[in-house]
Structure formats: C-alpha cells, structure tokens
Amino acid sequence: MAAPLRRVRFALGRAYARLWRLADGGLARIAPGSVRAQRARPRLPGAPLHRRYGLREGRPVDRFYIERFLGRHAADIRGRTLELLDATYSRRFGGDAVQRAEVLDLDPDNAAATLRGDLETGDGVPVGAFDCFVCTQTISITYDVAGALDTAYAALAPGGVLLLTVPGISHQAEPDGERFPDHWRFTWRAVDRLLTERFGQGNVAVHAEGTVAACAAFLYGVPAAEVDPAHLDPHDPDYEMVICARAVKREPAPERP
C-alpha cells in the first residue's frame, strides 16, 4: 500500500474514533472494538456499602474461610483450649471434646476472660498448659508479632496445636485511637517462615484463601450471605484474603538412658 494511502486511512480511523467518543452512544453498534471494551468496564462504587467488614448486615466474607478452616480441624480443638476475648470457636467446633475453655484478655471489664495476660510479653499466660490455641485475626493487631508467636508456642503442651488465621487483603480493622489498633498484613510465605522458626520443619501447614470477587465483596462490606458461593472458590493465589495455619508442638524426644 502506498504511503499516502496509509496516511489517509490512519487519519480517517482517528477521526472516526474521535467522532464516536463525542457522540451520545448512538454509534455504539459500529464503534471500534477497543472503544467498546472501554465502555464495558465495570463501574465500581466509590465508597464501601458498609464499613467494618459488613458486620452490620451479617457475617463478613473472611469468616466464611476462617470458620471453614476451623471446621476442617475441629478434631484438634480438644482438652484444655485457649482463645482470645471469648471461647466462641472453642465451644462451637470443639464441643464435648473441650474439657476446659480458657479465655485470655488483659481487659479487666471482659467478664468472659478466665486469664488476665499479655499475648505479646507472655505475662499471665500459663506455659505448657494447652492442647489447642485458637488464634483468629489477632496477630495483625499485635505489634510484637514475634513475642506473640513465642507466647503461643510456649503456652502449648507437647502435642498441642496452634490454629492461626491472619489477614492478607483487608481494610484497616479499627480507626486510629480505637481499642485494637491495626498493625500488620501477611502472606502465606511470611506465616510459614514465622511458624517454622518456632515449631520446626514439617510441623507447620499454611495455606491462603480468597478470590478477587471475595476480596472485593469484603472490602466493600458485602456480607458473605450476599456473595455467590461460586465466587468464593477456588482460591486465586494472587488474592490472599485470609491465611490459615496449623502448627503442632511436637513431643520432646525421649532422653537416652
């Protein structure tokens, strides 16, 4: 094709696209494919439908994954258990297998607490006492992550299990100045490394949960009941909304005679 003809066709194409953009949609049927694709982009709300994870409307999306994880490991929730703030999950998933459900909290006004202790420092937390520690969405609001995980490891009896969940993709848990200031977000690799350093190789299993639709619904405050279940699975590794981990404190090796 001669150069002058190519220039004419190029100029006509640009003029056509510009004319369509200026029109009021009347030429949509014959618009260039690239322009139609731009018009088809989803328009998302500029603000969340509900803040605080949609709690006002129902169960947050992250709890779908957290509770499914605990359900899969319900057999670990037994004997003497430890949980933070209240014993809801210990009793719900452990049932009759739980002999004593302890609740840890520093707040003297928490009537559900059976232990007044500090997860970061270990003060007030019994050592080697628990068969299971259910720790959901708490490490992110604990500034001294290393100290908290050291306490969790020390609190378990030999053979005890830590069931841990932490946020990956999430908005800030509480505004500044609230009771539980938010500090951290995690990836499955970070959690795997942090726990393996304490529990040892082969004693830790970590996985992530989430999809782009689940993350979007969570950030917009749409409750889990309003999300199509088909959009919650399978996990998309690019969208880690919740990281779940099971870590076992192994029995010490018997001493040689």
Is 221's pLDDT higher than 80?
yes
The interaxial angle of helices 61-72 and 212-220, nearest 10 deg, is 120
CATH superfamily of 52-248: Vaccinia Virus protein VP39 (3.40.50.150)
CB 66 within 8 A of CB 135: no
CB 218 within 8 A of CB 239: no
pLDDT at 27: 47
pLDDT at 230: 96
The pLDDT-based confidence of 181 (bands split at 50, 70, 90) is confident
Q: Tell me whether the omega of the peptide bond preceding residue 32 falls within 30 degrees of 0, making it cis.
A: no
Lowest mean pLDDT among 55-64, 181-190, 207-216: 55-64
Query: What residues does each domain of the chain span?
Result: 3-39, 52-248
Q: Structure pTM? A: 0.81
Beta-ladder partners of 135 = 164
Does residue 204 sit in helix, strand or coil? strand
pLDDT at 20: 47
The pLDDT-based confidence of 42 (bands split at 50, 70, 90) is confident
Q: How is the beta sheet containing 204-209 ordered, strand by strand?
A: 98-104, 79-84, 130-136, 156-167, 242-248, 204-209
CB 125 within 8 A of CB 155: yes
- pLDDT tens digit sequence for 9-33: 656 556 555 554 554 444 445 555 5
Lowest mean pLDDT among 113-127, 173-187, 210-224: 173-187
More confident: 6 or 86: 86
Lowest mean pLDDT among 6-15, 25-34, 130-139, 159-168: 25-34
Q: Where are the beta strands (DSSP E) in the chain?
A: 79-84, 98-104, 130-136, 156-167, 204-209, 242-248
CB 138 within 8 A of CB 174: no
CB 112 within 8 A of CB 85: yes
The pLDDT-based confidence of 37 (bands split at 50, 70, 90) is low
pLDDT at 172: 81
CB 223 within 8 A of CB 61: yes
Give the whole-angstrom CA distance, residue 229 versus residue 226. 9
Q: What is the average per-residue pLDDT within 32-59?
A: 69
- Average pLDDT of every residue of the chain: 86
pLDDT at 47: 82
**Residue 127 CB coordination number (10 Å):** 12
pLDDT at 120: 95
Is 210's pLDDT higher than 90?
yes
Residue-by-residue DSSP string for 49-112 = SSSGGGTTTS--HHHHHHHHHHHHTGGGS-EEEEEES--HHHHHHHGGGEEEEEEE-S-TT-TT
CB 214 within 8 A of CB 241: yes
pLDDT above 70 as % of the chain: 77
The Cα angle at residue 248 between residues 245 and 253, in degrees rounded to 5: 155
